Structure 1
Amino acid sequence: MNKYIKIALVLILFLLLFVVRSVSSELFYDPLVVYFKNDYLYKSVYNVDIWRLTVNMFYRYLLNSIISLSLIWVLFERKDYLKFSSFFLMIAFMILIVVFVFLIRDNFQSGYLLPFYIRRFIIHPIFLLILLPAFYYQKLSNR
């Protein structure tokens, strides 16, 4: 792939990650944004439609994952990296969403920090920040 096309695609994909973040409040149902912004220390979690929240978190995770996988492909152009990342993102989502749903159903009785950070891992492409340096290191060590 041409160097300039690759740079343009990387910039566009990073810009798409920012766009997803900026329009997320209009696109996705997430009442916990207001909860974690204001009164999480003083109030318990009010009624949350768990099913709707889970589905919307899945859509947001899927959108971020597709952009992240595209970014990994543009940067490294290796199918094994793409397969590993896909599998890793899928397993991570399944584990995190199960724990998150249990914590919501428990009304955060064990505290708010664990659900806050689990939600953060689900709705933001944090795993991309882990995978990119790992693949870069792998690429450098294979030379």
Structure 2
Amino acid sequence: MPKEILLSKKNIAGITGLLLLLVGVRVFEDALFYDPFINFFKTEFQHQRLPDFDAVQLFLGLLFRYSVNTVLSLGILCLLFRQKQILVVSFWMYVLFFILLSIAFFWLLRYDPDYMMLFYVRRFLIQPLFLVLFIPAFYYQKFAK
């Protein structure tokens, strides 16, 4: 019994540390990532022009940020569920979502002037929102059996 409690405390400490790292990604986003849309979306952007950007650098910045968030999120899922199958499924879902959202993001930048749709697609790319969706889904799946 004490070993299980110690393991639980280690998991809680690990999850707390990973969550703090996710917060750090958000706090230091200006210094860590190339994203000219950070300041754009903090203003009244509906009636402004899109900022100038380098598409390759923007893609690489989004890929880097998404990857950092993904690794930290997978670490949290690993500590919460301790099942390899959940990690494998989550990893492939993260890859698929990045591909689909990146295509949507750059398509919206090029062809669609709907800034709100661009805002929300970008939000899924730069924030660990999938973690917020995956945790309840995997808990439901685990306890529904």
TM-score after normalising by structure 1: 0.94
CA positional deviation for 1:50: 1.1
Aligned match of 1:113: 116
Taking the TM superposition and a 5 Å limit, the aligned residue runs for 1:31-42 are 31-42=36-47
1:17 partnered with 2:3: no
RCO greater where, 1 or 2, for CA within 8 Å and sep 6 or more? 1
Q: Following the alignment from structure 2 to structure 1, what is the Cα–Cα distance between the partners of residues 60 and 14?
A: 29
Give unmatched runs, 5+ long, in structure 1.
none
Structure ranking higher in helix proportion:
2
Supply the RMSD in Å over aligned alpha carbons: 1.1
TM-score after normalising by structure 2: 0.92
CA positional deviation for 1:40: 1.2
Q: Following the alignment from structure 1 to structure 2, what is the Cα–Cα distance between the partners of residues 25 and 46?
A: 16
Contact kept? 2:37, 2:51, Cα under 8 Å: no
SS at match of 1:132: helix
Give unmatched runs, 5+ long, in structure 2.
none
Deviation sequence 1:85-136 (CA, Å, 0-9, x none): 0010000000000110111123x42x11111000000000000001000111
1:69 partnered with 2:85: no
Contact kept? 2:36, 2:51, Cα under 8 Å: no
CA positional deviation for 1:35: 1.1
1:88 partnered with 2:86: no
Aligned match of 1:126: 129
**Which residue identity is paired with 1:45?**
L
Aligned match of 2:65: 60
Deviation sequence 1:7-53 (CA, Å, 0-9, x none): 11111111111011111111101111111111412211132111111
Q: Equivalent pairs: percent with the same residue?
A: 35
Q: Following the alignment from structure 2 to structure 1, what is the Cα–Cα distance between the partners of residues 133 and 44?
A: 31
